[in-house]
Amino acid sequence: MFLFKNLFSKPLSVPLTVTSNNGFHLRPVAQFASLAKSFSCQITATFNNKSVDTKSVNALLSLSLEKEDTFTLVAQGKKADEALEALQRLFEMLMQDDTEIKQIEKTAYSYEGLVIEGEIISEGIAIAPTYTYHKTEVQHDSEIDFEDALSESIEELNTLYHTKEKDENAAIYLAQKELLASLSTDCQTLAELEEKVEEESEKLAGTKLDAKKSDYQDILQRVKRHLGMEIKVTFPDTPFILLGSDLLPSEIDHLQQTNVAGVVLKETSINSHTAILLRSAGIFSLIADTQDIAEGETIILDAHAGVIVQDPSDHDLKKAKEHLEKDHTQKARSATKRFEPAVTREGRSIKVFANAADLNTAQTAKEEGAEGIGLLRSEFLFKDLKPSLEEQQKAYKEIFELFDDITVRTLDVGGDKALPYIEIPSEDNPFLGVRGVRLFHTHPELMEEQLHAIFLAAGDKPIKIMFPMISSVEEFTQTKSFAQNVAQKYQLDISHLQFGIMIEVPSVLFLLESLNDVVDFYSIGTNDLTQYLFAIERTHTLLKADALSPALFSAIERILDTATKPVSICGELAANKEAIPKLLNLGMETFSVSPRSIAQTKEEIRDV
């Protein structure tokens, strides 16, 4: 540690050196500032004779810290020593975890048409007419003021972060949330926020953070949308290659719903949030100057070689189509293998299900070879507005039709997940308070409507219904009775439905023999089980439990040895390469993982 403590309450300081090749950029800065806010003392960062408030994301970014830059962290006031120690630990962890996004190596090429060199964002090949990005803004009357729009935008980003927290890109939403909170300080109107965004964006020009300007525009557009600004965008009905200066990170989701074949941007970088999301979406893309390419011109986008081919010859088109067909064949071969069963070398057949968060992820799971849904997180329906019975029934039914084997978890909010339309009193320890199955006591009307919708959507299908956060036998039997009473009230037959529990509260480990008499199945939620076993909040910025701890595997072994009803595992551990052999050796036979992890998990199982 480089900590120097003074007995006379003078400022304490510690030098920190940026070791990440990416520099100290928006995502780690947001986590750093978020932790700094938890301390009441004054904390500043000094670099090149400039001192800024570390609790402000925007201020920290203004230092433009790159690899090998050393800045001084200074704290003064109550618990200044604790603040410096905590921030130093976090900084070191952020530097270690910040993987460099490396340039993709280009393949050789030989084209007869005019070639424009570019930098690869996401590999692939596309042949299609170009389309220039167009959008128009339409202002509608708004019933909320600027302050409320700001609050709703920040809360929306917070919800997105927690909804996607198991996604590797979830930190983008946390970063934007902290950036918006920082930028909006002292802004009383939209005009003031626009001026601040413009001013701060200009400061990034020419720096390594230049590509982060799109995040500034993204959060500004989010606030405008809450103030009644509708962004109208049109796209062709046929495949197209999108040309543009840049895209906002939030626009990638919309783009995925179109016939986009590829994207070429002029003003971004391979480590921008836009580029990260394009890669994640699997959209073939380059960074290149497209000013000489006409609208509607058919081009070849070769994101293997990192080039655009204008006016391609017949020979160029033939070669590109052959390459495209080769890519499709390889993808099809992989897709075919994904549908093959996962059988160990000893001949054990293992089920690989998917964790789904909405209809899109359930459809992706189907395409990726999932045998069913081991965990349907129903929270996707319960966002800004409370869903109606009809909306819930329709959404569940669409997902239930995709698979024969589906486990749906009842609403699991509380802890780190909040809903704007239900009142949960502020709690000092929300992870130990009203969440999961406890909503049946605090908000019975909400839970009754959800169960009613699930029953209606299930019809004659043998859906499994899982209660989260069960901590006792009585809690399960009371909740199941609640469900049976709902069915009786609406004269619905649910005799074909099964009821089980998520094993995530440690008390259940000692009640399994009694629970065997009443539950139909178990699912081990290792994320929360680990949190409660080690008393470390899973969203904590500093403390991390060992995901491969012998204690956790001992708990799982106890469950498998004692349970007389089917057991599956649906936490992150289920897709962990190092954990899979251990779980199989303990006797685990059903895994539920993220859709994108299905193929990998099956391959790992086949190698055991």
For the CA atoms of 287, 293, 299, 301, the dihedral, rounded to the nearest 10 degrees, stands at 0
- For the four alpha carbons of 12, 17, 23 and 28, in that order, the dihedral sign comes to negative
Angle at Cα 605 formed by Cα 604 and Cα 607, nearest 5°? 70
Contacts of 75 (CB under 8 A, 6+ apart): 11, 12, 13, 39, 41, 42, 43, 44, 81, 83, 84
Do residues 521 and 429 share a domain? yes
- pLDDT reading at 468 higher than 60: yes
The answer to whether residue 2 is domain-embedded is no
DSSP class per residue in 534-578: HT--TT-SS----TT-HHHHHHHHHHHHH--S-EEE-SGGGG-TT
The pLDDT assigned to 427 comes to: 58
The pLDDT assigned to 179 comes to: 87
The answer to whether residue 329 is domain-embedded is yes
CATH of the domain at 318: 3.50.30.10
The answer to whether residue 104 is domain-embedded is no
For the record, the structure tokens of 402 come out as: 């995709």
Domain boundary among 232, 262, 278: 232
**Which parts of 164-212 fold into alpha helices (H)?**
171-183, 190-204
324 is in which domain, residue-wise? 114-134+234-336
Do residues 348 and 408 share a domain? yes
Mean local confidence (pLDDT), 114-142: 89
- Tens digit of pLDDT for each residue in 205-253? 766 666 677 888 889 989 998 888 887 778 899 999 999 988 888 888 8
Do residues 383 and 291 share a domain? no
**Contact indicator for 170, 161 with CB cutoff of 8 Å:** yes
Do residues 378 and 499 share a domain? yes
Residue 73 vs residue 203, higher pLDDT = 73
Do residues 218 and 85 share a domain? no
CATH of the domain at 26: 3.30.1340.10
The answer to whether residue 580 is domain-embedded is yes
- pLDDT reading at 4 higher than 60: no
The CA distances from residue 264 to 201, 286, 466, in Å, are: 22, 5, 45
The pLDDT assigned to 297 comes to: 94
**Which parts of 282-408 fold into alpha helices (H)?**
314-338, 359-367, 389-400
The answer to whether residue 107 is domain-embedded is no
The answer to whether residue 5 is domain-embedded is no
For the record, the structure tokens of 596 come out as: 């994108």
Do residues 547 and 599 share a domain? yes
Do residues 326 and 387 share a domain? no
| Catalytic-labelled residue, pool 25, 162, 273, 452 | 273
Domain boundary among 198, 232, 266: 232
The answer to whether 441 is a known catalytic residue is no
Question: 121 pairs with which residues across the strands?
Answer: none
**Contact indicator for 531, 557 with CB cutoff of 8 Å:** no
CATH of the domain at 496: 3.20.20.60
The pLDDT assigned to 99 comes to: 64
The pLDDT assigned to 545 comes to: 76
**Contact indicator for 591, 353 with CB cutoff of 8 Å:** yes
Confidence of residue 541 (pLDDT cuts 50, 70, 90): low
**Contact indicator for 589, 351 with CB cutoff of 8 Å:** yes
- pLDDT reading at 7 higher than 60: no
Into how many domains does the chain fold? 4
Do residues 48 and 69 share a domain? yes
The answer to whether residue 7 is domain-embedded is no
- pLDDT reading at 462 higher than 70: yes
Do residues 448 and 577 share a domain? yes
Nearest to 285 by CA among 307, 316, 317, 254: 307
Task: Give the chain's mean pLDDT.
Answer: 87
- pLDDT reading at 124 higher than 80: yes
The answer to whether 273 is a known catalytic residue is yes
Confidence of residue 354 (pLDDT cuts 50, 70, 90): very high
- pLDDT reading at 540 higher than 80: no
Residue 204 vs residue 78, higher pLDDT = 78
DSSP 211: G
Do residues 352 and 317 share a domain? no
Mean local confidence (pLDDT), 272-282: 86
Question: Which amino acid is located at 390 in the chain?
Answer: E
Confidence of residue 6 (pLDDT cuts 50, 70, 90): very low
Mean local confidence (pLDDT), 512-540: 88
Do residues 258 and 403 share a domain? no
Do residues 446 and 555 share a domain? yes
Residue 354 vs residue 360, higher pLDDT = 354
- Tens digit of pLDDT for each residue in 549-567? 899 999 999 999 999 999 9
Domain boundary among 184, 205, 232: 232
The answer to whether residue 408 is domain-embedded is yes
Percent of the chain with pLDDT over 70: 90
